[in-house]
Amino acid sequence: MGGYTWDFSAITRNWDQLMDGLAVTLQLTGICTVIGLVGGFLVCLMAMSRLAPLRWIAVAFIELFRCTPALVQIIWIFYCVPFFFGVFFDPFLMAVLALGMNITAFNAEAYRAAIQAIPSSHEDACTALGLSPLKKTVYVILPQALLMATPVLLTNTIGLLQQTSLVAIVAIADLMYQGKTLATQTYRPIEIYTAVAFIYFAFSLPLSQVVGLWERRLRSRLA
């Protein structure tokens, strides 16, 4: 390290290319976050359903995506889905599918833990008021589940932002892919990868601070 000469011009000259990759990364993160928030709650309700077939399907989905590496999931969906099912999508959509299902499984568990923490007296009150299952879910369970699950959901979003870097292996031009390309082209991998790491850090740190703030507010509110 003592004899190494840093040259950050490789970053400044190619900043636009890195920002193009960042735009793809943020698109993936935003779309998959929405999928995970909505899909996670639906899968959670299925996993807690009294109907055994729905419950089995949801539990199998959750365990499959929680117990296998995200990288393996991405590669399998990119190469095996077209082979076995004859379904071909745009690579970006395939990445959304893979990452969306992954975060859906993790968010489903976050919702489940939050719903189980809701006092049973709240459900008794819904029954006493004659609320339908749909109204009980929308107006009572969902708001409270979101409130209590938010720290975990935000933590999952941070993990999702970082996991988007895995799509570089299937040649989607995200931040990591652009960084890898520039490292090869400029012969300055240390500077390029350091810049890429700081960009991920710059977006992850504020979210992690929000998680800590929300947890403190939640603890004080519940107290």
Q: Please report whether residue 5 resides in a domain.
A: no
Range of the domain at 20: 12-222
Q: Please report whether residue 7 resides in a domain.
A: no
Give the model's pLDDT for residue 1: 56
Q: Please report whether residue 131 resides in a domain.
A: yes
Domain CATH for 122: 1.10.3720.10
Give the model's pLDDT for residue 2: 60
Give the model's pLDDT for residue 21: 96
**CA 125 to CA 161: how far, in whole Å?**
39
Q: Please report whether residue 86 resides in a domain.
A: yes
Place of tokens 């979003």: 157
Q: Please report whether residue 18 resides in a domain.
A: yes
Q: Please report whether residue 56 resides in a domain.
A: yes
Quote the number of domains for the chain: 1
Angle (nearest 5°) at CA 31 between 25 and 34: 135
Give the model's pLDDT for residue 68: 94
In the predicted model, residues of the chain with pLDDT beneath 50 are none
Give the model's pLDDT for residue 215: 74
Give the model's pLDDT for residue 31: 97
Q: Please report whether residue 4 resides in a domain.
A: no
**CA 61 to CA 102: how far, in whole Å?**
9
Q: Please report whether residue 151 resides in a domain.
A: yes
Give the model's pLDDT for residue 44: 93
CA separation (Å) from 109 to 99, 114, 162? 16, 9, 20
Give the model's pLDDT for residue 212: 82
Q: Phi then psi for 94, rounded to 5 degrees?
A: -65, -40
